Amino acid sequence: MTESGNKDQGDTSVNIENGGFAIQNSEVHASTHFELRADATPHELLQKAQKLLDVRARTQALELLKTAVAELGTLESRVYLALALLSGRSLRDLDEDERCQLDGLRRFIKWHNDPLWTNTAELICELIDRHDNGTPDADRLACQIEKLEPEQKGLVSDHLKHVLAGEEKELIWEQIRLRAKEGQYSNNREGRIWAYFCPKPASARAHIPPPIATTNSDVLHAKSWLAMLLLSLTYIGWFLVTNTGIPTVATYVIAVGLTFLSVTCGMEWHYRSKRIAYKDRLYTYDPFRRRPEAGFAGKVTDYVRERFQKSIPANVDKKTWMDDTAGLRAALCNEIVDLYGDQKKYVGKVRWLICDLTWDIQNRYTNGYLYTYRERYRTPYPTKLWCIGAAALGATFWIGTIVDLFSAFPIRTAAAALITLGVTLTSVKRWTHIVQERRRFEDDENEYQEDIAQREAWRNRWLKKIDDHCPTEEEMEHWLNCDTTLILDKALRNYRISWTDVIREATLISPAANSYRARRNLGPWRYSKYNVQTFLITRDGVREISTELDFKNLDPGEQDRHNFRFDAVSSIHVRQSAESEYELNLTLTNGDPRNIPVVISSGEDLQKSEKTENVAQMNLDASGFVHTLRLLEGIAAEGKEWIQREPVQH
């Protein structure tokens, strides 16, 4: 049981227990999407920062934008710097240095006249003024947003959602909702999103044939017995030549030739029958053999059964199909466990092989040659006829020769015949073992080469399929943003409130239990399932909406709603581990503490070019953690007085 091909890269399965929380599997895609050359130009820095902003990697984007702004000095770079400072944040989240950087945008507008970005820059400055002066003019701001080009309008709605007040959001919300509804399934999401979370197929493997079991000692003994056989046959031939006539000698020679022919055909017949019997035992279902129900072996068994139940040939009854293939299913499970069970691989990495082997069995079943080895090793009828005919005719000639000699030399004839018979049987037995073992190894090697070539082709096809279907980071972020937007819209409709009733909003996106995760090198984690927690701050208190989003299967799930007063927030606490894990602990006066894992350790998934803190920060930015934390901290510390400090009142 050995491996063919290179060792799998990125083969990690992470299980993190945290009050029942667990990540089932992690996958890191090899990609240069987020990589940046050391000698990158300022324009390349700006382009890379834009890509990072598209996936909510605000902190990394800021680092690049500061350099790009210093080198380029364009209005576009200044606007992107402002967007990065405000992305996923409110103006209250900024520190003094960040406010100074924003103020620099106002001065910069006077020096540059870039029609494409001037309106966006002026809008950002208007929003800052409105926040500082507390003089809302929602209609005018909404009109300014409408005048923006589609690209700039999308940037504003994506990155300034916590800067826009309720009135502006209310005026443009219908457009945002419609864009989210249209974009939720865009670019064939249903047919492609699986590829992002699909684990890299494990390397193609097949059973390497056991080495030849015969030893040099076996060959030496066989040669010795063959020498004795030749000696005894030579002695009998010499005895016949010196004591009998030509007819008896001719009969002897024919008997020896027919015996050799019969033995040769018999060995071929025996080997082929033995080979079929071995394969039959391998593919015969044993109902008394206990199958594992847990661990890797149990998951393989379950998935094989599932695939066979979904691969029933046309016009075939399910029970008939499952009964006819029971032995093949068991053999397939045993093979997968033997080949891959040593590393306790996540079963998803071998699903490609199970799928293709199941398809191959279905195809053979449909075409009427389910057990191909039976045809391959079937003994040809001429071989059987030659074996039986030569044996019968040879026995006749041997009897004639022995009778002629026995009448004249009974004792010597009997002794020679018995010795020759014993030596022949022993020699044939030993050489049969040697020849058939070499033949077995040759056939096993040929089957191995055929299997490994076929499986390499299957694996390459799967890799190409994954590469062709895998969404970009921008598409994944866009789909997630559409999902969360529609979840927020549903919450507003369920509560029957409008944006004019909402003072502040925060959305925290965290991984759900028992989900899969994947990311590109240097990129943020994407999860197959998310817990989306939305906090709507109104004058009457906090409305919390919890939704488990099945991101991979496009199922928004049901919403759980909780309402509590401002003074009900007892404490808010963040736990950070040495592995850069973050967990938010929210405690209400009338309930148990709730632990929300926000960033899960990357562990062994870190690549050579990555640092734990950078990956953790990128995931914090993407989750909306910082804004949510500061909002809840303000409520926990000040209660309803927190609203009084909000500059814009509705």
Share of the chain above pLDDT 90, in %: 37
pLDDT score at 312:
93
Helices 410-469 and 351-366, axial angle in degrees (round to 10): 120
**Does position 16 have pLDDT exceeding 50, yes or no?**
no
Q: Which H, E and C letters describe 224-237, residue by residue? A: HHHHHHHHHHHHHH
pLDDT score at 644:
66
Q: So where are the chain's domains? A: 1-30+479-650, 31-164, 216-282+377-466, 295-370
Burial 390-414 (b: 16+ CB within 10 A, else e): bbebbeebbebbbebbeeeeeeebe
Instruction: Report the alpha-carbon angle 26-45-151, nearest 5.
Output: 85
**Does position 8 have pLDDT exceeding 50, yes or no?**
no
- The better pLDDT of the pair 581, 57 is held by 57
**Does position 645 have pLDDT exceeding 70, yes or no?**
no
Environment class of residue 515 by beta-carbon count within 10 Å: exposed (0-12), middle (13-18) or buried (19+)? Answer: buried
pLDDT score at 22:
60
Environment class of residue 388 by beta-carbon count within 10 Å: exposed (0-12), middle (13-18) or buried (19+)? Answer: middle
**Three-state DSSP state, 639:** coil
Cα 18 to Cα 452: distance, rounded to the nearest angstrom: 41
CA nearest neighbour of 565 among 648, 643, 460, 487: 643
pLDDT score at 450:
95
Read off φ and ψ for residue 87, nearest 5 degrees.
Answer: -60, 120
Cα 166 to Cα 573: distance, rounded to the nearest angstrom: 28
pLDDT score at 7:
36
DSSP-derived secondary structure letter, 9: S
Tokens for 61? 């984007």
Instruction: Report the alpha-carbon angle 511-513-519, nearest 5.
Output: 40
**Does position 544 have pLDDT exceeding 60, yes or no?**
yes
pLDDT score at 21:
53
**Three-state DSSP state, 203:** coil
Cα 425 to Cα 15: distance, rounded to the nearest angstrom: 62
CA nearest neighbour of 34 among 69, 65, 61, 66: 61
Tokens for 297? 């072996």
Average pLDDT over residues 477-494: 92
**Does position 452 have pLDDT exceeding 90, yes or no?**
yes
Average pLDDT over residues 93-105: 84
Q: State the pairing for strand pair 515-520/23-29.
A: parallel
**Does position 4 have pLDDT exceeding 70, yes or no?**
no
Residues near 188 by Cβ (< 8 Å), separated by ≥ 6? none
Cα 399 to Cα 27: distance, rounded to the nearest angstrom: 76
pLDDT score at 457:
96
**Does position 328 have pLDDT exceeding 90, yes or no?**
yes
Share of the chain above pLDDT 70, in %: 91
Report pTM: 0.81
**Does position 9 have pLDDT exceeding 50, yes or no?**
no
**Does position 530 have pLDDT exceeding 80, yes or no?**
yes
Cα 193 to Cα 479: distance, rounded to the nearest angstrom: 10
- Assess contact for 286 and 331: CB atoms under 8 A: no
- Tens digits of per-residue pLDDT, 192-223? 999 999 988 999 999 999 999 999 999 999 99
Read out DSSP for 362-429?
HHHHHTT-S-HHHHHTPPPHHHHHHHHHHHHHHHHHHHHHHHHHHHH-HHHHHHHHHHHHHHHHHHHH
